[in-house]
Amino acid sequence: MKVLDLFSGIGGFSLGLERAGMETIAFCEIDKFCQKVLQKHWPYVPIHEDIATLGGKKYAETIDLICGGYPCQPFSVAGKQKGNSDTRHLWPEMFRIIKDAKPRWVIAENVEGHVKLGLDTVLNDLESEGYTCWTFIIPACAVAAPHQRNRIWII
């Protein structure tokens, strides 16, 4: 399976997905330090710098899965919880790319606060494009981390 990794950070999604036999064909990451880490570990995989200028149509019929942990600040209890009115709310950009690229699968991750603030919109958006959605809350302690830190996963 071919993967387009959005909000890539240092490549955690791709590392796990590649261990499951998938291949990342492109990243999208704005942070310069993270880009350097991605370049080191995936030297031949292109990195798009800005989600707002990435065209999804160029990946139509070439990718099977889009993954991404879109910014959590709009939903986090550590922030102001502005949701859709937060300028860092980038789910609409991820959804635009999903609509244009039409992958078979989408995997998204965010903070637990998203359940009360904005998750319904994400699920409605995906379902409007024909996706069947499953959501899971998985705490970091489920993988032996020394803290709870719940995360919502959308498949």
90's CB contacts (< 8 A; 6+ apart) are 7, 51, 70, 71
Pick the catalytic residue from 28, 34, 67, 72: 72
Catalytic site includes residue 72: yes
Catalytic residues: 72
